[in-house]
Structure 1
Amino acid sequence: MIKDWRTTIACAIVLLFGITLFLFGTNGFSAFTAETARVNKLVQDKPKFPNVTLEDSKGRDYAISEFKGKYVFITFLYTFCTTVCPQLEMNMSKVYSALQPKYLGIDIVFLSISFDPARDDPGTLEKYRSYFHSDGETWRMARIPNKAELDSLLKAFGVIVIPDGYGNFTHNSAFYLVDPKGTLVDVMDYKKTDKAAKKVAAILKREAGE
């Protein structure tokens, strides 16, 4: 009898310990994967877009302040990618096309940032953007030539990029929304384009007082 009682207590302690670890590891049951927990933390922390110099497909250099007063819808990619990146940019084009043209370039800009600046020079980005009907203005493709600056942005936005040693990268993918003050306010599933488009459209309408 005493042995059974002790066994029950021990099992209860193990179960409680496991639940506690799960709570800490998943932000209180709200996240069930490491990626979801990462996204939740980013949205909660709301990091600022670091002070970096972007170079776009037109060869123009500027900081994120170029878009001050506008929302910026962002993806991270590399043009030599043959797996997720083409789908990521195709899905970005769907969100772009779903928004009313009156908002584009005025209230929001789209920005695809390469994390492979050595190969993704302006000429390469200029060719790549044409595949997705990016106009190079309201939707720009750019790189960050300075490695330290690039690393600071990837770290701030929780973008994981792991080179495989053969010119390719393992990386996570998402839609990132930065507000007019340069603060990351949302991270969206790039596979759910309709949901992302509706969310962005609602934000723009609210900001416009519509």
Structure 2
Amino acid sequence: MGFPAMSHQTRLLIRGGFFFTGWLMACLASAAPIMDFVPPPAGSYRLERIQPASEGAVLDADGRRRRLSEFTQGRVTLLAFMYSSCADPNGCPYALTVMHMVKSELEKLPETRGRVRFVSLSFDPVRDTPQTLALYGRDHSGAGQHLAWDFLTTRSRRELLPILNGFGQDVGVDIDKATGKPVGTYSHVLKVFLIDRQRTVREIYTTDYLLPAMVLNDIKTLLIEEGVRLK
């Protein structure tokens, strides 16, 4: 018998309550979230089907032109938008930290091989060239690990915008008020997308509840939904 679908708000309440928002913001600077509650066991709930994953042209770290769908289908995918020069501890660095922690736990499970993927897609195509992301990815993805982590960019902001719009990811270019010129940083709401094998978004995490244990159990839940037996 299937489990009832839970809304984002309901799952957040069950997993510890809204008082964790303030706690989480206080510990973001250290990028070391502390879990002092127990999330629902993986497979004890069902994730809603929210929307189709966006599509568009991207460049991989080798500079090859690809379709985003090549990286968002066939495996459970955790996708985050980022830019490599982001210094906001509440933004890209925090998402990167959480993804590292989740990936590290999944690497311990041989059953996840070939079934889970991590994707970081830059919204700064001018500075985040394939060459830049190749170096960035080398520092973050790790060698000898069985779970892929792809770092992608686009040829231009024009090609990026349809992808952002499809995911509902708002991004603004910060402008110097004195000169009216871009200052090289971006304003954006942190969003991380959990996508199933059929390219359907099943969860959207924002800063308030992007917690490693929650993300880990959600990924496991999708794997269990597919019939994968996790030890």
**Which secondary structure does the structure 1 equivalent of 2:184 belong to?**
coil
Distance in 2, matches of 1:130 and 1:90, equals 15
TM alignment of 1:18-167, pairs within 5 A: 46-67=50-71, 68-83=73-88, 84-99=91-106, 100-104=109-113, 106-134=114-142, 138-164=148-174, 165-167=182-184
Distance in 1, matches of 2:137 and 2:152, equals 10
Matched residue pairs, number? 172
The answer to whether the aligner puts 1:199 opposite 2:218 as a matched pair is yes
**Which secondary structure does the structure 1 equivalent of 2:52 belong to?**
coil
Q: Measured at CA, do residues 50 and 189 of structure 1 come closer, stay the same or move farther in structure 2, by a change above 3 Å?
A: closer
* Gapped regions of structure 2 (runs ≥ 5): 1-6, 13-46, 175-181
Contact 1:49 1:182 in 2 (8 A): yes
Contact 1:189 1:196 in 2 (8 A): no
**Aligned residue for 1:170?**
187
Displacement after TM superposition at 1:119 (Å): 0.6
* One-letter amino acid matched to 2:117: V
Displacement after TM superposition at 1:58 (Å): 2.3
**Which secondary structure does the structure 2 equivalent of 1:113 belong to?**
strand
Distance in 1, matches of 2:220 and 2:228, equals 12
**Which secondary structure does the structure 2 equivalent of 1:80 belong to?**
coil
TM-score, normalisation: structure 2: 0.65
Displacement after TM superposition at 1:128 (Å): 1.3
Contact 1:53 1:144 in 2 (8 A): yes
Displacement after TM superposition at 1:146 (Å): 3.8
Distance in 1, matches of 2:111 and 2:212, equals 20
Distance in 2, matches of 1:51 and 1:197, equals 25
Greater displacement, 180-189 / 156-165: 180-189
**Runs of 4+ with deviation above 4 angstroms:** 134-137
Distance in 2, matches of 1:45 and 1:101, equals 27
**Aligned residue for 1:188?**
205
Identity of aligned residues (%): 26
* Gapped regions of structure 1 (runs ≥ 5): 1-26, 32-42
Distance in 1, matches of 2:55 and 2:94, equals 29
Q: Measured at CA, do residues 146 and 52 of structure 1 come closer, stay the same or move farther in structure 2, by a change above 3 Å?
A: farther
Q: Which has a greater percent of strand?
A: 2
Greater displacement, 186-195 / 114-123: 186-195
Q: Measured at CA, do residues 150 and 110 of structure 1 come closer, stay the same or move farther in structure 2, by a change above 3 Å?
A: same
Q: Which has a greater percent of helix?
A: 1
Distance in 2, matches of 1:169 and 1:189, equals 17
Larger Rg: 1
Distance in 2, matches of 1:206 and 1:47, equals 18
